[in-house]
Amino acid sequence: MVVDPFSRYQARREQLSRGGLSQGDALEVIGDLLRRGERLGGEGVEQALRGLSRGDIEGWLRSREPEALQPVLLRAAQEAAEAALGEDVDESDVWRASAFEGLTARDRAESTLRAIARWEAVHGALQGEAAARLKALREGLERLDGAMGPRARWFIPLNSQRRAERDLLDSAERARAWWFSARAECDDFLGALSPRGERPGAHVQGCRECQEDLAKSAPVDAPPKRHLSADDLWRFDMGTLSAAELRWVDGHTEKCLDCAQAIWALEEGDEAISQASSMEREPTAPAARTSRAPAPAMRGTGAARHAEQRDILEDRREFRVVLIRERQRARLLVQPLPGRTVTAAVFLAPGKPSLKPQPGPEGLQFDLGTAGGRSAHLMVRVGNNEIFERDFTF
């Protein structure tokens, strides 16, 4: 059963008045009520603030890491995309509930900071280590908002829940709370991205942000108008397709299984040629050499077509990012340097899940698909702290 958010906050106020909440929970509830005073009133807030000691605030700050929310929001974005793409209603509801819980983590952090600010107004400013931790936490959230706020479209599948929360916030709070407010009216954007090719509604036609996102997504999400011909496959294999044609091929094969299988067959043929060539250089394996050579008659045998081109996109003391082009395909390799641990995510289009990395001896590898004028967004987390992100083309 879905609980009305107004009733939920009222229940939390009663918990606060009865006592027994942890310091962190008490700070969240106090901040929730402060930021929703126009609807919920301020009853019990000041009394609860007076009950929190300086040690309570300092203890809570010591338990928080400034960058801890970024992976939570990234996971919420992936789950929101799963909710939008899911065909089973019950499964979509599970994804949606989990994604929304992750998204509200950002709102709870905002409420806690608001409560601490009010506590300082009553008891005096924090000093020393506690003040430094509070400053680091605020700066970490500002960096997070700078990275995630412009990508609020990822959370459009949660819009009905986001609007319910937004409308409870005080008017002065709503603009800042991008996690509930930004793109909260853009529901029609998902229909415009549908593979069924639905005609954009009035909102999408009049929304600058939706139009910009559609323009970015068009090369990937345009519905297929035809299938790959034998000439298309030949030119793909020989590396003579233009960048625009490659984008079309990639978008088409995302939706057409038959054509995708044809492309995969070409790539498997490449693998067979590479293996056969390797075995021809091995004098101890003549039997294997004769059993591995089937390649389509239309294929060329020039070794140059199979050579890799590697470009280093980023080289840091913690990791290296390498873009690998082989014929008309592209891969991204995130290599942690010795003694470092990294996690990474790559997004090819708004509103879609991140690519799944393939761990290997060189690091985390992402298959980007066909290359040629396309763009993607990379996020790398180093250990439990530093976040790196950048857009790149391939």
- Chain segment 330-347, per-residue pLDDT in tens: 899 999 888 788 888 888
Q: Are 380 and 334 in contact (CB under 8 A)?
A: yes
pLDDT of residue 163: 95
Q: What does the pLDDT read at residue 66?
A: 73
At 354, list the tokens: 């991140």
Mean pLDDT of 59-84: 84
Q: What confidence score (pLDDT) does residue 309 get?
A: 82
Q: How confident is the model at residue 294 (pLDDT cuts 50, 70, 90)?
A: very low
Residues 40 and 158 in one domain: yes
Residues 6 or more apart in contact with residue 273 via CB below 8 angstroms: 293, 295, 299, 301, 306
Question: Do residue 331 and residue 210 come from a single domain?
Answer: no
Same domain as 14, residue 122:
yes
Residues 244 and 315 in one domain: no
175 and 197 co-located in one domain: no
User: Is the domain of 206 the same as that of 82?
Assistant: no
Q: Are residues 73 and 156 in the same domain?
A: yes
**Can you give the pTM of this predicted structure?**
0.56
Do 74 and 146 lie in one domain? The reply is yes
* Residue burial 109-132, b: 16+ Cβ < 10 Å; e: rest: bbbbbbbbebbeeeeeebeeebee
Judged against a pLDDT cut of 80, whether residue 189 lies above it is answered with: yes
Range of the domain at 120: 5-184
Judged by average pLDDT, the poorest of 1-10, 56-65, 154-163, 260-269 is: 260-269
Q: How many domains does the chain have?
A: 4
| Model pLDDT for residues 146-168, shown as the tens digit of each residue | 888 888 988 999 999 999 999 99
Residues 18 and 150 occupy one common structural domain: yes
Does an H or E element contain 143, and which? helix 128-148
Round the CA-based radius of gyration of the chain to a whole number and report it. Answer: 26
Q: Are residues 242 and 379 in the same domain?
A: no
Q: What is the pLDDT of residue 287?
A: 34
Task: State whether 170 and 273 are in the same domain.
Answer: no
- The highest-confidence range among 63-72, 90-99, 136-145, 199-208, by mean pLDDT, is 136-145
